[in-house]
Every structure is written in C-alpha cells, then in structure tokens.
C-alpha cells in the first residue's frame, strides 16, 4: 500500500520537481517546493537527501546509488561489473551496490528499475546515444593513462553545421585542432577522419573516447604529430537508425545498413573532406590523410579507405562490425594497389568480442592476397575501454616519415 | 501476473538489448538478438516494432508514444501541454497521447513511468540537464521564426577546454563565431557573453536556445551586427549543483548559491574574457561587450554587468531568478554610473512566471533611482519558448551606433 501511494506520490513529486525546477530558478524554487507541506513530510519518498552516486572510494571500489522507494528491482548494468548486479534497498528506499576494486578507467553504466532504463539523477556525466543514453563514471588513474586530463596545452573542438545534400539532412561535423593551431600560418597539417559506432553520434569520440584528451597528451609528449581530427556523423540515411533498437529486427534494415555505409562514404569524400579543406590549413596530400573508426566506423574505414586508397594512406579499424563478407567482390580488384598505396593498414579486435571471428577472417583474406597489414588481437570486449587504448596506440603511428612495418 | 513476469522479462531484455546493442555492432547484433528465441516469441514485451515518437501531424497535433507493457501509469509532462497528461495503453502495450494543435515551436518533454522519469527511446533529441535530462520535439514553422534553420551561412561553435583556478575545476566554454569570421582579418568584432540557467550547462543556449541559429538568421537578414557569442559554464562552485534537486532543500544551499554567483563573476572577468580575447579577433572596448542571460544567468548578468559597467555597456536579463533583494546594498552606490555607462539595460519576464514579481520590484527600484532601462512584460512562462524570443529581440539592439531609447 505504501509502495503504491508512494509510486503515485513520487510521480506527482517528480512533476512538481520538474515543473518547479525545470523552469523555475533556485530562490523561487525553494519557496515553491517548501510551499508543498506534504513534500517535507514525505521527503524520503521522492525528495530525499542529496545522494552521492556513483562514489569512487580510495580502494577503487565504486558505490552506485539510486533513490527509489517502492521499486521492486534495481539492476546495475556497467562495464565496471562482469554481469548485471542487483542493488539492495535500505530503510530509506535508497538502493545501492558496491563493486570490487576496478582498474582506473572510464565506465559506462545504466540502472534498470522495474524493467525500465533510467539515468542516474545524481550523475550529470552521460554517454549520449541515439537509442539509449547512459551515464559514465571516471575512476582516476596515473597521469600516464592516455585519457587522463593533464596540465598540458589543450586543442579546440569546432562544431560546423552544414547541409548534406547526399544524405539530405542538416548535420554537424566536429573538428579537433591541436594546441597552437594557427589559421594564419602557412604550415599545412595532416588530418585523421575518425568514425563512431552504430547508435552513437559525432560527439562519441570526444565525450566517451576522449580523443581530444588523448591527442593533447600524445602531442605534448612528442609521441604524436600535430594533426586535425575530424569527427562526422556516420549515417548515410535516416532509416538505419529510425525507431530505436527494434529497427534492427525489421526486414528492410540490412539494406538500409548497406545503403547507409555507401552514402556516408560519398558524403565523406564529396562533402566533409572539402568542407574541412576549405576551413582549415590542412594538406590535401593523401599521405597526410588518415581514416579510422570503431565498430560500424571500423567497417566504414575499411570500405571507404581501401576503395579510395588514392585519398587515404593510413587506415585503422577497431573491432569492425557489419563488414560485407564477400571480400573478393569488394576488394579483390584493389589488392594490387594497396601495398604501394598504404602507409598503414591496422586492424584490431578484442579477444572477448564475438566480432573477432569476422575480423580474423578478413585479416586472413588480406594475408592470402599478400596485402600487408598489422593484425592486433587484444584482451578486451567491444567497448571504449579498448577503443581509447587502440586510439592511443594508433595515433603515434600516423603521418610519421618512417611508416611502421605492416607485419 | 503477466505484468510482473513482463516487468522482469523486460528487465532482462533491456539488459540483452544494452549488452547486445551497446557494445555490439549491427550485423552481429542481429545474430546476437535472434539467437534469443524467447525474444522473438515475446517481442511485443520489450522489443516491439519500431515506434515513431513523437509524431508531429499535419494539423500540428503531436502524438507521443512509449512502449511499456506492464506499466501502471505513463504520464507526459511537456511545454506542449498545459498540465501533465496520462498516456493510454493499447493491446500491444504501447502507450500514447495526442495533443491539441500546438504552435510551431520547440517543446521539452518527459515521460514519468510508474513514478520514474525515462527518456523517450524513439527520440534521439535530448535537452541535457545536470539533474534531469529530457527530450525535445520540434514543430516546424515558417522560416521567419528566428529559430528555424534556414539556407543561410552558418557560424561555427568552438569548444575550449580550460582549468578555472578560481572555481578549481576543469571546464569548457563554447564560443560562436559568425559566418565569415576571419581570424586573419584586422577587424575586431563585439562579444556577447550569454549565460544559462540553474541546472543547465554551457550547451543549453545552443542545444535548446538555438542561439547559433538565431544569430545566423539575424545576421543573414542584416538585422544583427556580426558578433561572437561566448557561453561559459555558469557555476562558481561544485556545491550549488551537487546531489540533484534535493540539494536545494539543504541548509547550506543558499550560501553556496550566493558564493557561486560571486565566484562565477570573478571567473568571467578574470579567466573567461581574457581567454576569449587571447583566442579571437575581438574588441576589448566596453562598448563592444554585452552580457545577457536567463533565470540564474539573468541574475548573474545584472549582478556582474551592473557592478562592472566599466566592462559591459549592454546588459539584458531574461526572467532573472534568485536576485538578492537588498537592492540598496548591491546597487545604490553604482546608480550614478549606470546612465552614462550603459547603452542598454533590458529586463524582461513572462507574465505567467511567478518570478515576475521580483523582476517588477527591481525595475521599480531602478525607476525610483532614475536608472534608465527597458522593462518588458510578455505573455509566457519560465522556459525557452520565451527565451528564444527574447534573444531574437535583444540581439538586434546590441552594438548599434544609435543605442535604443532605454524607456
């Protein structure tokens, strides 16, 4: 009975909270809230004391908390735990779970409350996603970790808005310029085109992958050449991401997927690269152009990069997914160009990622046809824990005079 | 019974969905999903057909949908409806509600499912907020509406990362440069410092307020002078936004609020303005510097702008909230400087906003002390529907040779 009334009260209080808070500013908000006597009386129900969540302890365990009196079940799904973990409820209706000590890293997590995903209201750090936005928690580590913010010069992220006539959509492309980039200098810098995964957007390599922080650190230490990094939106049509995850189960989806990758390739070559080369002091020499991406973006890097090896001399694919498997049809005609053209062809995948099978198969096909490349098998799954490391490993290889050995 | 099992199944399916989808890419995701026979069998439970939500109809009604078999109550809270509206469930467990025809605009909304806020999984457009991220829906209107994207040259948003020693925090500041901004030109442009409201962040004026679109349109039509717009994070300490909405009910919060506004002012004058003037071709003349903001940002614009009228000649406050009410103590010593110093002092508030009382009081105090200003009372509430219009009204007034009459 308490649960039910509490559920309904919670609903109303949320509305009050949203209405009060969401438009109204603080001084007024306080008057507004305290004008509801019953809220004070039942504060523990929906307006409890401020919660700290997640809390990272000195021993690098993490306590996740969520205030939900009346909930039947609160589950934590996170890269910080090996499987979904149930939170336990205390007398005040605050649910919590504490992990074992975890390695310093950045972890994505979600709460599933009675079967429905909710964001952690106590944690403003989110991982944006087209279908299912979640939260992130940073467990700080030594400054030598490539994604740790250090006291070094920082590059700038530029967000350009343009209309893609090829995709028929208004969209943004994000451009990272390295520290000290000078639009007035004559020096022309190289460019990495860095592609996100399916269901993510152009922000993901910055807001989750920390590409700008990784570049800042590698450039500061001299490990990487100063370069621009261009992060476009990687969909070639609307259909491929229309309607949430369920879209994947619709008959037309696979066709939309192939069309999307093809169209995106046309847009990259004919709209995005020209936009970048109009707006920035960058080289248009193929030896100064790289393409890399994760998952869907890894597949696109291979499809676009190998097909247009006259435009890209450096290609890297992280945990590529959704590759067409008729390699001969796509790549056989190109194979003789690739060794002379490519300075780097880098393919990596996590050993705990079921996609490793397909990636191994493609690496074997390249070997069978004498196409030199780096094949990397790494302990890890299909997530940004691996991709941040891959980016930090590949960036120093790019645009170097002496290209690394490909085997 | 169905409800309960469905709730639990939904929980598990969500985990599958997250696990499958969240790391795994599409082709593999499909294999992965279809490998769960029971998902196909019970697809209607958590993995239904793709939903369109919200759907804007030709008559400008909006249908909001949410797939939640087993839910007891789904409520819509939105600027598009006058009060919370219950959605109705169909046989498939899809909940929906259709509004009356609404005016072309951009509306924020949330679903409250059994007392808990959830994002609309079918709508990737969110309104980010530190405490309660929601969704947005755009009801398109005539291209003359200032926030409608038109085929005009677009400015660029630049995101600078810096360490604020005054706030002791790593943070971003967003900078809009107008179309055709040329870092190599000798021309120095004016700058508007544009401040967000409480619980929002530096992105809000772009991602919800559409400030870049409004500027693009007004500059293209010749109504506004080309200018930079600087959007910093408006908190002067961590405490003021720590722990979700409940923080507002804690004893120390009011002190944190006052300290936050004071510290933010110091950071704006001593860190943010210098950063902007180091990085861009902008004038450092007070006549080329404006400050404006909404709600908390309106109060900050008045506190900072009036106190530092030697730095700002143009001040605008939209629906200012949380103003200190001892006006004499804060402003009496300044009043004689303000008429000669200020080219614009613009104060506006919605008539349906309970904050209008305080704003009227302040306008009356200014009148009583002969401080010239524009007072604007507008039908409207405390939200971006009003603030987008206020921005579009104020921008053309800024940096004009002939300052508008202040009464």
Return the structure tokens found at A137: 């928690």
Q: Are A207 and A99 members of one domain?
A: no
Considering only residues B233 and B249, tell me which one the structure prediction assigns the higher pLDDT. Answer: B233
pLDDT value for A10: 37
* pLDDT confidence band for A6 (50 / 70 / 90): very low
CA distances to A167, A300, A302, A345, A349 from A368, in Å = 36, 22, 17, 15, 19
Tell which residue, B274, B220, B400, B356, has the closest CA to residue A25.
Answer: B356
Q: Are B307 and B352 members of one domain?
A: yes
**Interface with chain B: mutation pick from A47, A115, A353, highest number of B CBs within 10 Å:** A115
Residue A168 contacts B, CB cutoff 8 Å: no
User: Does pLDDT of A22 surpass 60?
Assistant: no
Residue B355 contacts A, CB cutoff 8 Å: yes
Contacts of A48 in chain B (CB under 8 A): 246
Average pLDDT score over residue span A357-365 = 97
Percentage of chain A modeled with pLDDT above 70: 87
Of the residues B87, B104, B139, the one at which a domain ends: B139
Q: Are A23 and A111 members of one domain?
A: no
Q: Are B97 and B197 members of one domain?
A: no
Q: Given an 8 Å threshold on Cβ–Cβ distance, is B26 in contact with A296?
A: yes
Query: A108 has which bridge partners?
Result: A136
Tell which residue, A119, A113, A123, has the closest CA to residue A93.
Answer: A113
Q: Given an 8 Å threshold on Cβ–Cβ distance, is B198 in contact with A126?
A: no
CA distances to A153, A157, A203, B191 from B280, in Å = 17, 15, 24, 10
Percentage of chain B modeled with pLDDT above 70: 87
pLDDT value for B183: 87
Q: Kindly report the CA angle at B231 between B196 and B146, in degrees rounded to 5?
A: 75
**Four-residue CA torsion sign, A231, A236, A238, A241:** negative
Q: Are B113 and B222 members of one domain?
A: no
Total domains, chain B: 3
**Four-residue CA torsion sign, A232, A218, B24, A246:** negative
Residue A407 contacts B, CB cutoff 8 Å: no
Residue B268 belongs to some domain of the structure: yes
**Nearest CA to CA, how far is A218 from chain B (Å)?**
17
B361-382 confidence digits (pLDDT tens) = 999 999 999 999 999 999 999 9
Backbone phi, psi, residue B44, to 5°: -65, -20
Q: 3-state class of B389 per DSSP?
A: helix
Q: Are B175 and B91 members of one domain?
A: no
User: Does pLDDT of A70 surpass 60?
Assistant: yes
Residues A180, B347: Cα–Cα separation, whole Å: 40
pLDDT value for A7: 34
The pTM of this model reads: 0.89
pLDDT value for A47: 52
Residue A403 belongs to some domain of the structure: no
Q: Given an 8 Å threshold on Cβ–Cβ distance, is A23 in contact with B382?
A: yes
Residues A277, B257: Cα–Cα separation, whole Å: 46
Query: Lowest mean pLDDT: which of A345-349, B23-27, B85-89?
Result: B23-27
pLDDT value for A18: 37
Query: Lowest mean pLDDT: which of B133-137, B248-252, B306-310?
Result: B248-252
Q: Tell me, letter by letter, the H, E, C secondary structure of chain A.
A: CHHHHHHHHHHHHHHHHHHHHCCCCHHHHHHHHHCCHHHHHCHHHHCCCCCCCCEECCCCCEEEEEECCCCCCEEEEECCCCCCEECEECCCCEEEEECCCCCCEEEEEEEEECCEEECCCCCCCEECCCCCCEEEEEECCCCCCCCCCCCCCCCEEEEEEEEECCCCEEEEEEEEECCCCCCCCCCCECEEEEECCCCCCCCHHHHCCCHHHHHHHHHHCCCCCCCEEEECCCCCCCHHHCCCHHHHHCCCHHHHHHHHHHHHHHHHHHHHHHHHHHHCCECCCHHHEEEEEECHHHHHHHHHHHHCCCCCCEEEEECCCCCCCCHHHHHHHHHHHHHHHCCEEEEEEECCCCCHHHHHHHHHHHHHCCCCCEEEEECCCCCHHHHHHHHHHHHHHCCCCCCCCCC
Return the structure tokens found at B266: 């110091």
User: Does pLDDT of A124 surpass 90?
Assistant: yes
pLDDT value for B38: 32
Contacts of A73 in chain B (CB under 8 A): 7-8, 11
Q: 3-state class of B263 per DSSP?
A: helix
**Nearest CA to CA, how far is A12 from chain B (Å)?**
8
Can you give the residue range of the structural domain that contains B375? 156-397
pLDDT value for B50: 85
**DSSP H stretches of helix in B144-291:** 204-207, 211-220, 253-267, 273-279
pLDDT value for A401: 83
pLDDT value for B268: 98
Return the structure tokens found at B73: 């109550």
- Burial class of residue A341 in the structure, from the number of CB atoms within 10 Å of its CB (0-12 exposed, 13-18 middle, 19+ buried): buried
Q: Are B244 and B177 members of one domain?
A: yes
Q: Which residue has the tokens 């009372």?
A: B377
Q: Given an 8 Å threshold on Cβ–Cβ distance, is B128 in contact with A126?
A: yes
CA distances to A54, A211, B225 from A109, in Å = 10, 20, 45
Residue A114 contacts B, CB cutoff 8 Å: yes
Of the residues B139, B171, B197, the one at which a domain ends: B139
pLDDT value for A105: 98
User: Does pLDDT of A127 surpass 80?
Assistant: yes
Q: Are A196 and A245 members of one domain?
A: yes
Q: Given an 8 Å threshold on Cβ–Cβ distance, is B243 in contact with A52?
A: yes
Average pLDDT score over residue span A386-395 = 98
Residue A56 contacts B, CB cutoff 8 Å: no
User: Does pLDDT of A4 surpass 80?
Assistant: no
pLDDT value for B243: 80
For residues B105 and B139, the answer to whether their CB atoms sit within 8 Å is yes
A284-330 confidence digits (pLDDT tens) = 999 999 999 999 999 999 999 999 999 999 999 999 999 999 999 99
Residue B130 contacts A, CB cutoff 8 Å: yes
Q: Are B359 and B236 members of one domain?
A: yes
Residue B382 contacts A, CB cutoff 8 Å: yes
Taking chain A, what is the end-to-end CA distance rounded to the nearest angstrom? 67
Tell which residue, A17, A49, A18, has the closest CA to residue A34.
Answer: A17
Residue B151 belongs to some domain of the structure: no
Residue A149 belongs to some domain of the structure: no
B310-332 confidence digits (pLDDT tens) = 999 999 999 999 999 999 999 99
A176-229 confidence digits (pLDDT tens) = 999 999 988 889 999 999 999 999 999 999 999 999 999 999 999 999 999 999
Q: Which residue has the tokens 């902007």?
A: B276
Query: Lowest mean pLDDT: which of A32-36, A276-280, B399-403?
Result: A32-36
Average pLDDT score over residue span B220-237 = 98
CATH classification of the domain holding B124: 2.60.40.10
Residue A42 contacts B, CB cutoff 8 Å: no
pLDDT value for A8: 38
pLDDT value for A205: 98
pLDDT value for A243: 80
For residues A15 and B75, the answer to whether their CB atoms sit within 8 Å is yes
User: Does pLDDT of B16 surpass 60?
Assistant: no
Residue A150 belongs to some domain of the structure: no
Q: Given an 8 Å threshold on Cβ–Cβ distance, is A158 in contact with B157?
A: yes
For residues B351 and B378, the answer to whether their CB atoms sit within 8 Å is yes
Residues A173, A260: Cα–Cα separation, whole Å: 17
The radius of gyration of chain A's CA atoms, rounded to the nearest angstrom, is 24
Average pLDDT score over residue span B90-108 = 97
Residues B390, B378: Cα–Cα separation, whole Å: 9
Residue B407 belongs to some domain of the structure: no
Q: Are A189 and A122 members of one domain?
A: no
Residues B280, B274: Cα–Cα separation, whole Å: 10
* pLDDT confidence band for B245 (50 / 70 / 90): confident
Q: Are B195 and B334 members of one domain?
A: yes
Contacts of A71 in chain B (CB under 8 A): 116
Q: Are A107 and A242 members of one domain?
A: no
- Strands, E assignment, A168-220: 169-177, 191-195
- B/e letters for B381-391, b = 16+ CB within 10 Å, e = fewer, are bbbbbbbbbbb
Residue A33 contacts B, CB cutoff 8 Å: yes
pLDDT value for A246: 85
B44-96 confidence digits (pLDDT tens) = 334 557 899 999 999 999 999 999 988 999 999 999 999 999 999 999 999 99
Q: Which residue has the tokens 């600078």?
A: B160
Contacts of A381 in chain B (CB under 8 A): 23
Nearest Cβ partner for B156 among A11, A47, A160: A160
Tell which residue, B395, B351, B393, B387, has the closest CA to residue B108.
Answer: B387
Residue A250 contacts B, CB cutoff 8 Å: yes
Q: Given an 8 Å threshold on Cβ–Cβ distance, is A27 in contact with B323?
A: yes
Residue A279 belongs to some domain of the structure: yes
* pLDDT confidence band for A404 (50 / 70 / 90): low
Residue B57 contacts A, CB cutoff 8 Å: no
Q: Given an 8 Å threshold on Cβ–Cβ distance, is B201 in contact with A124?
A: yes
pLDDT value for A48: 58
Residue B110 contacts A, CB cutoff 8 Å: yes
Strand pairing report for B94-98 and B62-67:
antiparallel
Nearest Cβ partner for B51 among A25, A47, A244: A244
What mean pLDDT value characterizes chain A?
A: 89
What mean pLDDT value characterizes chain B?
A: 89
Average pLDDT score over residue span B15-39 = 40
Residue B74 belongs to some domain of the structure: yes
Residues B154, B139: Cα–Cα separation, whole Å: 21
pLDDT value for A1: 28
Q: How far is CA B362 from the centre of its chain?
A: 24
For residues A315 and A344, the answer to whether their CB atoms sit within 8 Å is yes
pLDDT value for B193: 98
Average pLDDT score over residue span A88-103 = 96
CATH classification of the domain holding B169: 3.40.50.1820
**Number of A:B CB contacts under 8 A?**
301
Nearest Cβ partner for A25 among B131, B246, B321: B321
Residues B114, A323: Cα–Cα separation, whole Å: 41
For residues B157 and A158, the answer to whether their CB atoms sit within 8 Å is yes
């Amino acid at each position: 009975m308490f649960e039910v009334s509490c559920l309904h009260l919670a609903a109303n209080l949320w509305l009050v909270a949203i209405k009060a808070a969401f438009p109204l500013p603080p001084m007024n908000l306080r008057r507004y809230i305290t004008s509801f006597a019953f809220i004070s009386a039942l504060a523990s129900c929906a307006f409890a004391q401020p919660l700290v969540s997640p809390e990272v302890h000195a021993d690098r365990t993490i306590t996740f908390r969520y205030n939900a009196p009346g909930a039947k079940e609160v589950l934590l799904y996170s890269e910080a735990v090996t499987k979904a973990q149930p939170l336990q409820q205390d007398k005040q209706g605050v649910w919590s779970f504490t992990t074992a000590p975890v390695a310093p890293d950045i972890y994505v997590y979600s709460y599933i409350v009675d079967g429905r995903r909710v964001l952690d209201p106590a944690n403003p750090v989110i991982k944006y996603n087209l279908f299912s936005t979640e939260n992130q928690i940073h467990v700080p580590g030594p400054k030598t970790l490539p994604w740790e913010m250090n006291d070094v010069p920082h590059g700038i992220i530029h967000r350009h808005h343009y209309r893609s006539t090829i995709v028929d959509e208004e969209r943004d492309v994000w451009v990272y310029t390295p520290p000290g980039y000078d639009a007035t200098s004559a020096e022309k810098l190289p460019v990495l085109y860095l592609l996100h995964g399916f269901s993510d957007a152009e922000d993901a390599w910055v807001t989750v992958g920390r590409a700008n922080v990784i570049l800042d650190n590698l450039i500061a230490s001299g490990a990487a050449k100063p370069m621009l990094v261009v992060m476009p939106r990687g969909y070639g049509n609307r259909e491929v991401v229309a309607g949430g995850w369920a879209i994947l189960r619709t008959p037309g989806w696979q066709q939309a997927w192939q069309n999307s990758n093809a169209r995106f390739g046309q847009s990259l070559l004919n709209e995005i690269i020209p936009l970048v080369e109009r707006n920035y002091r960058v080289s248009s020499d193929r030896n100064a152009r790289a393409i890399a991406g994760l998952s869907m973006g890894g597949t696109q890097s291979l499809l676009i990069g190998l097909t247009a090896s006259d435009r890209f001399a450096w290609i890297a694919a992280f945990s590529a997914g959704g590759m067409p498997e008729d390699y001969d049809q796509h790549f056989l005609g190109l194979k003789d160009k690739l060794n002379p053209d490519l300075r780097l062809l880098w393919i990596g995948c996590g050993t705990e990622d079921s996609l490793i099978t397909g990636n191994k198969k493609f690496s074997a096909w390249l070997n069978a046809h004498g196409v030199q490349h780096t094949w990397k098998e790494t302990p890890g799954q299909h997530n940004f824990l691996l991709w941040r490391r891959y980016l930090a490993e590949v960036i120093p290889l790019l645009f170097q005079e002496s290209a690394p050995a490909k085997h």
